[in-house]
Amino acid sequence: MSLVQTEDLTKVYRQGEVDVPALRGVSMEIEEGEFTALVGPSGSGKTTLLNLIGGLDRPTSGHVHLDGADLDAIGDAKLSDFRLFRIGFIFQAYNLIPVLTALENVSFVMVLQGRPREECHERAMDYLRRVGLGDLAHRRPKALSGGQQQRVAVARALAADPRLVLADEPTANLDSETAFHLLELMRDLNRNEGTTFLFSTHDPRVMERARRIVRLEDGRVTQSDIINHGQAAP
């Protein structure tokens, strides 16, 4: 069953007097329970595609369907609800709230979902421990390294129990051991709870674990391969 479907998706940015196309007619489907990597050179459209699928930006033309809803046809309030309850975001820039502790940052989305405060605290602590930051729960972002902030961002995305996780270069600032443990955590959630993951990545460690690799070049899908036994395409 398709969780995400894009139809002839285009995105053009205006830079001065020039139109710069970021996506050129991207049509693809992400099935529920997939663990998929978007790969391609910088500027190929990976981050733009994630932002459109996540409803963070609107396409110039074409459509994004998420869980059966056309995101371009619904209002901003309903779109916010889709993001809040169905999508977890892991951004390259972390997007942590500076005045909140790691624990409060991880709890934040769950609080907005209306969950009981005790549940938010318990789940936030559980996921901070799972990403190896249980002892740093009360530090604010400025007191954390870049890699630690990235782990807080991962915990925040996963703790809210999304159906779809959109991860933009989630391992870019992590050492090999930390990246290994985080990828195993995400793969376990994929296998055991059916959480769907879509990564933008240059990291071979992500590609090795992906069950499908979609290649973008110049804003177009040029290849889409199902990967057997966790082996990346040559």
Regions of the chain short of the pLDDT cut 50: 229-234
Are the C-beta atoms of residues 64 and 232 closer than 8 Å to each other?
no
Summarised one tens digit per residue, pLDDT across range 74-101 is 888 889 998 999 999 999 889 999 999 9
Name all domains of the chain by residue range, CATH numbers in brackets.
Answer: 2-96+163-226 (3.40.50.300)
Q: Give the integer Cα–Cα distance in Å for 193 and 93.
A: 27
Summarised one tens digit per residue, pLDDT across range 151-167 is 999 999 999 999 999 99
pLDDT at residue 55 in the model: 94
With CA atoms as reference, report the closest residue to 58 among 79, 89, 84: 79
pTM: 0.93
pLDDT at residue 227 in the model: 86
Query: 130-149 b/e with 16+ CB inside 10 Å = b?
Result: bbbbeebbeeebeebeeebb
The residues, ordered by sequence, that sit 6+ positions from 117 with a Cβ below 8 Å of its Cβ are: 111
With CA atoms as reference, report the closest residue to 108 among 170, 156, 55: 156
Token representation of residue 229: 């036994």
pLDDT at residue 232 in the model: 39
